Structure 1
Amino acid sequence: MSFQRKPPSLLDLCIRTTIDNLRYLGDVGETDIYLLKDILPHCTVDQLTHIEDSTKGRDLSSVTDNLWKRFYQQQFGVESFNVVIKRMKEKGVKFKWRQLYDAKMKEREKAQKESVDRLKKLYAAEESKKQSRQIKICSKIPPSSKRSFFGGSGSSFPNLKGNLMKKAKLESIKSPEARIQADMRKRDLQRQISSPHMYVLSLPLPHLCVVH
């Protein structure tokens, strides 16, 4: 014995078609609640928000409140979900879950914005420190470009050269070769003075007489 599958009713086809095209659904008007209970659970957060906002003069919370409750738990976690329920019981109040969802979303966005602002300020402060250090380094007066071969400023080079010349002259005077030459010049001078064949007579300038 074979069983034939019952063909879908026209209503079922309409519900399926509506579910497949939820992105186009807006004001549901006076659509029966039992139909909305079959259709709206397939909505995303944005789609459900659009349908509720588009439906004027009708409160859909009898259908949508449990949907928003599910969205809250999925988006913000079980811990936050349980805290909200506990606080409402302690204070003896009850809010619609869409209100709680919207409030929590705004709180999260605010916290994220503040976190981003803090990061921006920290980044700006760090950049300011870098710029300040660069300005301090560049503001120092650079040393004179005229530097000697030995690393000093150009103005010290003549003094250094003079000192080196003096030192070299003293060393040359004290050297054995210099002493020998000095002795030779001294002996030549003595021989010229003691020689009977030649002498020098000094007269007032500009006359100079040499006698043999």
Structure 2
Amino acid sequence: MYGRKIPTLLELCVQTAIDNVRYLGDVGEVDIDLLGEILPHCTVDQLMHIEKSSIERDLSPVTDKLWRKFYEKHFGAESTKTLIERMQKRKVTFKWMQLYEAKQKDLEAVQEESGNKLKELYKKEQNRRQSRQIQVVTKVPPAKRPFWGGAGGSGFGSNSSNTKGRLIKKAKMEFLNSHEVRTAAMKKRNLLSNQRIPPRTMTPPARFGGQSSSSPGLAKPSPRRP
């Protein structure tokens, strides 16, 4: 009966490094074969941190294929294929980490530009809506002066109260001269004339002296005694 294989000390160290890969930094002194077992377990951020920390060592023999996988995973197989064709056509090569960083910056620039355009469009829309809203004016604007100028109580149109008075007077005269008002006034006068009491006939007083003797019913006054 065979028991489970006991791992070697090296295998235990590799497994420990894999379990704690998020804490790795400068791996400049680590054997390249061991890095080939450890680094494939890194995320993009973890692998980028290890690359930037290992300044004195080129990790591209191990990480270049890892960066190509990340490029294809994040930016698509078609974009990866197009990039490879362009490099072959121009007969140039770049590290896939550099290509990944360049593509990431391009996408960030495009996103930032799109965000700025959206902000600008939103701002224009807000300004358009505000311009169409009714604005409440708390300050009374000054009265406009007539184009012929002038100040004080004299002059053409200098006193608005005179104009207002003339308008009121004109409206009043038009009201009094209207057909309805004149008809009502005529009816009122007719009613008053019908209710008026006729005057009594008075007997004229008798005349003294110089009256004709032929007037009947009048006696001559008696002469005064001396």
Normalised to the residue count of structure 2, the TM-score between the two structures is: 0.67
Report the CA distance shift for 1:139/1:88 in structure 2 as closer, same or farther (over 3 A).
Answer: farther
1:36 paired to 2:68: no
2:73 is equivalent to residue 71 of structure 1 = no
Structure with higher helix content = 1
Consecutive aligned runs of 4 or more in structure 1 exceeding 6 Å deviation: 139-142, 154-159
Cα drift, residue 23 of structure 1 = 1.5
1:197 aligns with 2:208: no
How well do the aligned residues superpose, as a CA RMSD in angstroms? 3.2
SS at match of 2:76: helix
Per mean C-alpha deviation after superposition, the further-off stretch among 103-112 and 90-99 is: 90-99
Identical residues among aligned pairs (%): 46
CA distance in 1, matches of 2:97, 2:73: 13
Counterpart in the other structure of 2:214: none
Q: How many residues align?
A: 181
Name the counterpart of 1:7.
6
* CA displacement at 1:107 relative to structure 2: 0.1
> Structure 1 unaligned runs (5+)?
143-153, 200-212
Summarize the alignment of residues 118-133 of structure 1 with structure 2, pairs less than 5 Å apart. Answer: 118-133=117-132
Aligned pairs for 1:1-212 within 5 A: 2-134=1-133, 138=137, 167=178, 169-175=181-187, 178-183=189-194, 185=196, 188=198, 191=199, 195-197=201-203
Structure showing greater Rg: 2
TM-score of the superposed pair, with normalisation by structure 1 = 0.71
Instruction: State the Cα distance separating 1:129 from its structure 2 match.
Output: 2.6
Pairwise CA distance, 1:172: 2.2
User: Match of 1:197, as an amino acid?
Assistant: T
Deviations 1:41-77 (A, max 9, x none): 0011111111111113211100000000000011111
Q: Which moved more, 1:22-31 or 1:9-18?
A: 22-31
